[in-house]
Amino acid sequence: MGPIEIEKYRSRINKLLFNYGFKPDDLIPVEDVQEWCTKRDIEEKNPFRTANCVKETQSGQYKIIICKKITCDQISSIEGAMICREHRSKFSQLTSDWLFLKHLLLHEIAHSKGMGENDADIWAFSETGIEK
């Protein structure tokens, strides 16, 4: 899988965002998520972070920060985290770049709803149509 270029999937992404109450510009593709966060005094310890969900202090709107280009290494690292959370069989059903990206975006949307890592994964799999 990958590398994944976000802009290639823009129209599909915008539809997905719309379905969950987000606007196209609520997704902010950046070169480096940690650098983007650090510049704005948002703590981000992971230099390899692929995506993050942050709440804008003024508007209260959630924004999803995501790497413009998601590398194969980043995908492997996310896979590893999911396997640790015992989602190996579900992860194996993310059989295309788009399905991986869709799950990642839904995972970040789940954080805007207050879910933690594991609940965010489970909810995102379920919204992707993967139940077991």
Binding footprint of Zn ion on the chain (CB under 5 A)? 117
Q: Which is nearer to Zn ion, 44 or 117 (CB)?
A: 117
Cβ burial 32-55 (10 Å sphere, 16+ → b, else e): bbbebbeeeeeebeeeebbbbbbe
Residue whose C-beta lies closest to Zn ion? 117
* Residue 113 CB, nearest approach to Zn ion (Å): 12
* Residue 11 CB, nearest approach to Zn ion (Å): 25
CA distances from 89 to 3, 28, 63, 79, 85 (A): 22, 30, 30, 11, 11
* Residue 117 CB, nearest approach to Zn ion (Å): 5
Q: Which is nearer to Zn ion, 6 or 51 (CB)?
A: 51
